[in-house]
Amino acid sequence: MMKRPVGFDTAAQENYHAEERRPVGEAAAGESVPAVVSAAVPTVSPPATKSPRFSARIAQAVADANDFRPVGSAETPQAAPGQEPDAAAAELGTENLAAAPHAEPAADLAAVSPAETLAVTPRGEDLAAAQKQQKIRIKQARRRLARAERAKTRAFRFWQRQLTVSRRRQLRRLGVGAMMIALLGVLVGIAVLTPALAVKEIQVSGGSDELNSTVSEALYPLQGKPLAFVKDAEVHETLQQFALIQDYDVQRVPPGQLIVQLTERTAVLALPRGEKFTIVDAAGVELMVAEVLPDGLPLAVGDGISKVGTKQFFAAAAVLRDIPAELRSQVAEVSAAGAQSIELKMRDGVVVRWGGAQDTPLKAVIYSKMAAALADQEISVIDVSATEAPVYQ
């Protein structure tokens, strides 16, 4: 049994709350104060200066102390109601009250019986079994620690192998990339430093035979030069001296072929310039100057059409550009009072009133059919300016 210091008893606290409003020395209804309290504590009385509430608390604590008995001690004789307790009982109550507030932990140990002490302390076979169990637990702990260390080592080696494989892959990729770059450099070196990919043949097409031959001779200096280093600027600088070339396209075909495709300008009109003639295309670009009027080329008649840049000139040039080449070769002269009043004089003397440059392909078809249908008749004028109602005279 464990002792509880006086003043900290739960019953005393409950009694205090129940009796806190009771006057000093007054008992509750139906209760009587034990005689042992007054007999055992003749000298322990609260000072007169304390409050009634504090005095009641002290009185209850003294009563609880008189009820406490040490383990193994003899029972304190109780006085019968109405009798005075003897001196031994009073002295014992005083000693208990004096010793209770200063109880030490040693008193608690002394209160434990020897049987209880033996039941707690292991002895003999129980001690050996406990030591054996402790050794088993230590061995198990060591095994778990060893397994954890081995697992840690295996995980470290696994990640180390993974990093090694990844590094090898990266190095392999870098090696392949370096080999490709080196191979490309070798190919470039072969193209630049050796004649394996040099220009060996220049092929020109798209223009007339005379123009193609002339352009091939002009491009001859490019032969022997690395094909990859033939720049478009060099080709353009060579071809811009030829006015007959309207456009061109350059193709490089390994190992050493250079192909130039030309688009030649079409001469559509001859402009009189004194005793000479200036040959122009539909855009008014001067192609050449001839002393004699070329065969099959129409002659511009009139001041408006003879000047490059006027509305009459561009309208007449557009008509001559869009009609078939066979029909254009049959035109002897072209005149135009305005952009919508173009007239073509054919070599057989028939005047064709063409009108404007719109619907030129349709007008060319109408004229060809009318000329073929009226071939056995003498006519002087064919009017196709109104495609819905062509007429003739």
pLDDT tens-digit profile of 253-272? Answer: 888 889 999 988 888 999 99
Of 279, 304, 305, 307, nearest to 293 by C-alpha is 279
- For residue 68, what pLDDT is reported? 46
Distances (CA, A) of 157 to 143, 146, 147, 152: 21, 17, 15, 9
- For residue 351, what pLDDT is reported? 92
d(CA 261, CA 249): 5
d(CA 197, CA 190): 8
- For residue 160, what pLDDT is reported? 86
- For residue 84, what pLDDT is reported? 46
pLDDT tens-digit profile of 92-132? Answer: 444 444 444 444 444 444 454 555 544 545 556 788 888 88
The position carrying tokens 């033996």 is: 118
**315 burial class (0-12, 13-18, 19+ CB within 10 angstroms)?**
buried
pTM: predicted TM-score of the whole model, two decimal places: 0.49
Of 324, 318, 267, nearest to 295 by C-alpha is 267
Strands in 201-205's sheet, in edge-to-edge order, are 201-205, 257-264, 245-253
Q: Is 285 helix (H, G, I), strand (E, B) or coil?
A: coil
The position carrying tokens 């870098």 is: 174
Residue 175 contacts by C-beta under 8 Å, 6 or more apart in sequence?
none
pLDDT tens-digit profile of 147-185? Answer: 999 999 999 989 888 888 888 888 888 888 888 898 888
d(CA 243, CA 280): 10
Of 44, 41, 107, 35, nearest to 77 by C-alpha is 35
Return the sign of the alpha-carbon dihedral for residues 93, 99, 105, 106. negative
- For residue 74, what pLDDT is reported? 41
d(CA 363, CA 384): 6
Look at strands 286-290 and 276-281 and give their pairing. Answer: antiparallel
d(CA 22, CA 225): 131
- Enter the tokens of residue 30: 């139906």
d(CA 89, CA 35): 11
Please report which residue ranges of 51-86 form alpha helices under DSSP H: 52-67
Query: What does DSSP assign to residue 343?
Result: E
* 262 backbone dihedrals φ, ψ, rounded to 5°: -105, 150
- For residue 40, what pLDDT is reported? 39
- For residue 227, what pLDDT is reported? 83
Instruction: Confirm if 197 and 232 have CB atoms less than 8 A apart.
Output: no
Residue 333 contacts by C-beta under 8 Å, 6 or more apart in sequence?
298, 299, 300, 301, 344, 345
Segments in the chain below pLDDT 70? 1-124, 190-194
Instruction: Confirm if 271 and 308 have CB atoms less than 8 A apart.
Output: yes
